[in-house]
Structure 1
Amino acid sequence: MAESELTMVEPRERWPEGDFLRGARAAVPVLLGFVPFALVLGAQASQKGLAVYHIALMTGLNFGGGSEFAAIELWSSPPQVLLIVAMTLLVNSRHLLMGATLAPYLQHVPMKKVLPSLFFMCDESWAMGLADARQMKTAFSLAYFLGFSVCLWLTWVSFTALGAAIGPVLGDIHAYGFDMAFAAVFLVLLRGMWKGMRAASPWFVSLGAAALAYLTLPAGWYVLVGTLAGLAWACVRVK
């Protein structure tokens, strides 16, 4: 959808239903997938010797599940701080592209509101915010985005801490199959953004490149490789 199509309609703030609450309600189905995934991360962190407040602080300040799982996988005693920081930056590098994608839709919002709000951006809130703007054919609603994002953030921090608290009781958490919950949620989000095979071709190129990098490169590099491959393919298609 062109940017002009998103700004030439009546702003949603005039609607009788608050967008923040509407975003919070839309987050409920996603939360069901967040809970088991958060428990898995917390349990894994506890098995690496991290205390409950450690995992709560990590997930609260760095709202990115992929980088947190990578950090826990690399955690050792003593921790290799530089390696963990570098891998976190690498895995979270996709947020630069996600933020750039939102930039045209947020030109009507003051920067002092945009920057604090984007702290809560994750894959799901980014996808749902864009999908909502396109579906409703109106300007990007920062209130809807925040309603959705804040609910996810609170759930993520709370249940990773809970997972760390009960981790020793759970034992081998992979045996429960919880680690597939997050992937299932993201596949549902992609379905909502589906516009046909041709439009989705960068997704498949990115997926193939990421899978190959996952099998052949050190942990975390598949994120960057998949992102760059998808972008390169999209640029080739445009030309």
Structure 2
Amino acid sequence: MLLGIIPFALVLGSQATQKGFSFIEVHLFTGLNFAGGSEFAILELWTNPPIITFLVNSRHLLMGASLVPYLRHLPNKQVFPALFFMCDESWAVALEDAQKRQAQTGINHAFNLSFYTGLCFALYLMWVGFTALGGAIGPILGDASRFGFDMAFPAVFLVLLRGMWKSLHAARPGLVSLVTAALAYLYLPQGWHVPIGAVAGIASAY
């Protein structure tokens, strides 16, 4: 998974440089907004970055909510920093780990903060480091997507989805969310497909 991050981190850094970002700005861009999806969306539609960031990152509201049952035993001073470093990959792996631990031990609060911290630390360093590298060598690479690096992004998510697959019935909210988000992406302004897909998934779960 860590290796899979490298290609699209390089692509993002390269694209940011082509948009006029300085080397320091690339660092701040990825370090302070640790969320690959919104970063790519912002670069594509720079006219209103805060709104695009909120729309695309609205999925984090649901991701964080799904972790609440496993975080209740932790103080807020540990939970809030942990959630700042939450990304799609760390959320998926940590949630699966907590569910496995709960099934094995029967303990409700099975979230392993040390495991999660190590995972986030590695992901954060890889992401910020290689986007910075992409920014540094962007003028040399040119359009990095011509190397097929952009395919790493969906490939990583397909691997995560495969690991979380339990059954068709359990996957129903995700499938509903996927179809709804795809339709919204085709017919609505950019960014709206994320919250619309999320709401549709929640509605189908109930």
Identity rate of aligned residues, in percent?
A: 62
How is 1:43-82 mapped onto 2 (pairs within 5 angstroms)? 43-75=14-46, 80=47
CA distance in 1, matches of 2:61, 2:143: 35
Cα deviation, residue 135, structure 1: 2.2
CA distance in 2, matches of 1:172, 1:45: 11
CA distance in 1, matches of 2:99, 2:173: 20
Secondary structure of the residue that 1:181 maps to in structure 2?
helix
Amino acid at match of 2:26: I
Matching residue within 103, 108, 111 for 2:68? 103
CA distance in 1, matches of 2:145, 2:153: 13
Cα deviation, residue 213, structure 1: 0.9
Q: What CA RMSD, in Å, does the superposition of the two structures yield over aligned residues? A: 1.0
How is 1:76-155 mapped onto 2 (pairs within 5 angstroms)? 80=47, 83-136=48-101, 137-138=104-105, 139-155=110-126
TM-score by length of 1: 0.81
Match of 2:159 in 1: 188
CA distance in 2, matches of 1:200, 1:164: 38
CA distance in 1, matches of 2:173, 2:72: 26
Q: Which runs of 5+ in 1 are unaligned?
A: 1-29
Cα deviation, residue 104, structure 1: 1.0
TM-score by length of 2: 0.94
1:206 aligned to 2:171? no
Moved over 6 A (4+): none
Deviations 1:178-215 (A, max 9, x none): 11102111111111111111110111111111111111
